Structure 1
């Protein structure tokens, strides 16, 4: 029952969100919401399911395309970037948080904190300028600053951007949790017994930090998804968000279908990362 209500709530939110450009107007300084317009577009969308028109969208004045044929490549591109960045984020944050929790080098923590305050677009600008500077200085091109076409998507810089901010968030969170776990009596007892630090971390610390990681997983994915919009736009990556901001006219069915696809993408990333955490639990916690 709870799952059904959640699905219905998400669907209703998407339908309402997509109607905002049509249903909300400002009349004589007052915000007016036209609920009849909302009902019209929702009914029209549902009615067009049977004839398949909801999967047609227009590009330009004359070009009409089938979303069912065009959507998979866009979806898989976004899935690839998010999956890789998610795996790197979790692995890096676990390693660095274990190190930083016992490190006394405050300048490293200050750098991590500073990087966490950088907005996405500033980080992207620095990365692109850095690549250009290295190329002009050495003649060596270490990465593409933007995608030329769907077959030549930029890879390294978008991946770094998607990974860095959620990784810093997790490092700061998990470092505190790791520090707390290391102060627990059972850890002190394990140290008193002469157990090696590696054994303590692998079989005691990680096992008690992973629940906090699972609890923060929704926040991490939310950060990654919000970054995805900026990354795909500024790096010209042909992902899902291209369908929303690709220069086509505003089309209700296209926006609704893309938003549903983003929800599906979110769920896939969530369960893939949960699977990674499960594997980590099996490998480290139960060694």
Structure 2
């Protein structure tokens, strides 16, 4: 009787699977999967592109909204009184401590509660039969990174406000908004840029929760429902390539020596 192999690391099988996966990736047009609930075999391409573009749309639109709101809210906060700014920081700390699942569930439940009490369906709280919904998933997905970016950008602005070139600019009578946008914001761009990498990865993990709670059939759900080495590898590549390209372009466009330039500009 042949004994089954116990759990362990088998280098031969490991490298064999890597080789087979690479061969499948090279012949990507031939990668296939069994449609869920059927015995029908389908090619992954171009079907996976539809789920991919849907998930990527949710990710990038949410990220853009989070960036705009974080910058706008941060700039507006410095017009508040010191007491109001402390209250804002306290609320941000509370919101940041909330679990991601709680935020998703609360927004979904809120949409249902509004419909139940007012008969006003402001948005679809749940996707049906392959339906694509955008408003609530984008709102949910952008809320958590907005809180994080708002808090981190607020701290970075405060660090810059304590520097001598800002005090000199204020003493010369320069407008606060001009100093914030023209000099302080360029100086925090680099830190802001590196925070985006963490935010993007965090949003990918949140997309998994979203796709299940809103019954969205996106790329992550497709990968989980068809967990083959080839499909998971293709899915990861599709998610990371746009990240690499986007951040490479942003890094190339970021001004070099921005701190020296902006400080001297105020002086």
Q: TM over 0.5: same fold?
A: yes
Q: 1:272 to 1:227 in 2, by over 3 A?
A: farther
1: CA distance, partners of 2:54 / 2:170: 47
Match for 2:34 among 58, 73, 91?
A: 58
Q: Show CA shifts across 1:72-109 (max 9, x none).
A: 11111111111111111111111222233564213332
- SS of 2:115's partner is helix
* TM-score normalised over the length of structure 2: 0.83
Aligned to 1:143: 123
1:252 positional shift: 2.4
Aligned to 2:204: 225
1:241 positional shift: 0.5
1:269 positional shift: 5.2
Aligned to 1:76: 53
Aligned to 2:10: 34
Match for 1:125 among 94, 102, 105?
A: 105
Gaps of 5+ in 2: none
2: CA distance, partners of 1:276 / 1:48: 36
Contact 2:59 2:141 in 1 (8 A): yes
1: CA distance, partners of 2:201 / 2:77: 25
Aligned to 1:234: 213
Gaps of 5+ in 1: 1-24
2: CA distance, partners of 1:112 / 1:229: 24
Contact 1:190 1:200 in 2 (8 A): yes
Match for 1:210 among 184, 189, 211?
A: 189
1:34 positional shift: 2.1
2: CA distance, partners of 1:273 / 1:146: 35
Contact 1:79 1:269 in 2 (8 A): no
2: CA distance, partners of 1:195 / 1:50: 59
Provide the alpha-carbon RMSD of the alignment: 2.8
1:95 aligns with 2:95: no
* TM-score normalised over the length of structure 1: 0.77
Q: Show CA shifts across 1:201-243 (max 9, x none).
A: 2211212121221122211211112212211222122221121
Aligned to 2:142: 163
Q: 1:220 to 1:275 in 2, by over 3 A?
A: farther
Q: 1:277 to 1:207 in 2, by over 3 A?
A: same
